[in-house]
Amino acid sequence: MLKANNPNLQSWIAVSKDSDFPIQNLPFGVFQTAYKQPSVATIIGDTVVDLAALAAGGIFDTIEMDTTVFSEQYINRFMALGKSTTRAVRDLLSTVLQKGNTTIAGNSQLMAKSLYSIKEVEMLLPVKVGDYTDFYSSREHATNVGAMFRDPNNALLPNWLHLPVGYHGRASSIIVSGTPVRRPKGQQKPKENGVPIFGPCQRLDFELEMAFIVGKSTTLGDSITTDKAEDYIFGVTLFNDWSARDIQKWEYVPLGPFLGKSFASTIAPWVVTLDALEPFRTAGYDQDPAVLPYLKYEGDCNYDIQLQVGIQPEGSNEKIVCESNFKHLYWTMNQQLAHHTINGCNVNVGDMCASGTISGPTQDSYGSMLEISWNGTKSVEMLDGTQRQFIADGDTVIMRGWGEAAGVRIGFGSCEGKILPAN
């Protein structure tokens, strides 16, 4: 077990029992204030820890590294230092933030310069995303959608059980939690035999996903094997792949999603390292038919991470509409990255790969309103009495994720966005 994951560790920084961010987590993100330029940070409880300030105070002098990476607007340069260095940083933070350690706690000036309440900072997009790939890796979700729009007895397309289906998406519209989302406009075809119309999306949806961040580049022509994939995956974050279902339905033949997806995708502000997720490893699905050799893997490569989605209408309280789990992925992250690169496609530091909608086997675990409302044929009642088949203007969608083991909760913070009316 990694020493920073020791469940007995405690910090001198206060942490509530239901916090996503105990000392065993130590995720990475970027923040700024009205008086401070963007800086790389970690978080314990509700306290944001400025790593640039710690570096200026000499905290990282025992690690051979370029500490200017902490004075950046993104964590890309930090990730590019390599896992041996980023792991050493996490281990050192674990040491100096432990209860009883006075390296920081005994230095009032350094504490004043490096510790911020989460309420007084603005969290920024943590990663400069170069390329973004969206997969389609939940069998339950793919089966539901196939049953809804095709033959329920042949819901999965012939290739689905043989490879991780994916597509290249738009990176420029990936936004950080808290950024409002404007309802998209586009072409729709409400009647099968009618003509297309143009206007605001009428079937706006969320998609409950997780995304991994590439922390190590490859060369064009090279491939990453499943057993080496985790060397290239820096960490994971929550991901809401907003979807305009009516726009997408009309446009996706023959080349797939375009305007129905590219208007916005929201991520949580914190990237949780694979190291911190070690306690939550779990077995993957038995894959039948057997996959081709390059997609085979050994060990537990799925993660038992509880996932939750709530909808909060404007002026009302939040209604939980989905309880799912990251382990409901038929295709693992290792397989996704191996397949992504098997043709020689190069990946770069900061590239992001999303899982696709994560649906479980029961109705309360469906990861999209498309499934929850079964293509608009069912309604969900909000706490204020209003009904939803899809997302309404003024609604805030809130996603959460956390794992629990040995009395320790490791989470991602919230991933949320409010829908504004179309321009």
Residues acting as catalytic residues: 141
Query: CB of 161 within 8 A of CB of 287?
Result: yes
